[in-house]
Amino acid sequence: MEISRILHQHNRCSGLNDNGHSKRSFSSCSRLSYDTQMNNEYWLDRWERADIGFHQNDINPYLREYWQALALDSDCQVLVPMCGKSRDMLWLREQGHQVLGVELSLVAVQTFFSENNLTPKCIDEYPFSRWEANGMHIMCGNFFDLREKDLANVSAVYDRASLVALPPEMRKHYAHHLVDILPPATQILLITLDYPPDEMPGPPFPVAMNEMHLLYASHMKIKLLAQHDVLAQNPRFQQRGLSRLQERVFLLESNKK
């Protein structure tokens, strides 16, 4: 598939024209659709400008430490929503897992494969384009367009940067959509941040303990694996005025039969 065709496909799925500009009609959008569109444009712009301070060059230490708590078969498929160009996907692949990433930005997808010296095969699977190489698959498109059949082989989810990237109303939509389309018995390793919400505008956004229960308790068993005060190790957040910053690691287990 030619890159120009992939770009056209990606822009169409993201609500953009072929020049990358918005073609939405505000009057016909629901509030949620409007918020989703604005959020999409925000992240697409961040990737276009290489303004990606949220990207971690190293493997996440919580992933290394707590992944074993899921007790997965090595060859199972792991979903990484809103994956960017995360190197965590390489680590998961090294454990033997098939990796299924989902990412809105074509720039992020192309950069992931090029930086890791991988030559992907590109497949048009509307409303996504699928990029595959060495047991790693990234679906380029809107997370909210995922369907149950897309995740039929998924056994676990790794979420380090998805939930915290979304404002409150979109977090509800994200959690509901994810839980609704996951196969039964799927587990989630979820990493969140928490801080006084009036001290800093997100992203990343704070997710309090009570919100975790509101989002997931009716569908998932929630187990807190770790909680750490990390403000001292994050001067950039101190500079933004935070008085408290906590990271939490959760294991979520599906109640679906």
C-beta of residue 150 within 8 angstroms of C-beta of residue 137: no
Provide the 8-state DSSP code for 153.
T
**pTM for the predicted model, two decimal places:** 0.85
Residue 142 has phi, psi (to 5 degrees) of -85, 125
Distance CA 133, CA 79 (A): 16
Q: Which domains can be identified in the chain, with CATH numbers?
A: 56-254 (3.40.50.150)
| Phi-psi region at 182: left, alpha or beta (left = phi > 0; alpha = psi -120 to 50) | beta
Given this model, what pLDDT does residue 48 score? 80
pLDDT above 90 as % of the chain: 74
Whole-number average pLDDT of the chain: 87
Token duo for residue 192? 């969140």
Distance CA 241, CA 200 (A): 7
Q: For residue range 188-241, what is the model confidence (pLDDT) as tens digits?
A: 999 999 999 999 998 999 999 999 999 999 999 999 999 999 999 999 999 999
Q: Which residues pair with 140 in a beta bridge?
A: 103, 129
Alpha-carbon torsion 199, 201, 205, 207, what sign? Answer: positive
Q: Which residue has the tokens 């009036």?
A: 198
Token duo for residue 137? 């698959």
Q: For residue range 6-59, what is the model confidence (pLDDT) as tens digits?
A: 444 444 444 444 444 444 333 334 544 546 676 788 878 887 887 766 657 799
C-beta of residue 188 within 8 angstroms of C-beta of residue 220: yes
Tell me the DSSP string of 9-36.
Answer: HHHHHTTB-TTS-B---GGG--HHHHHH
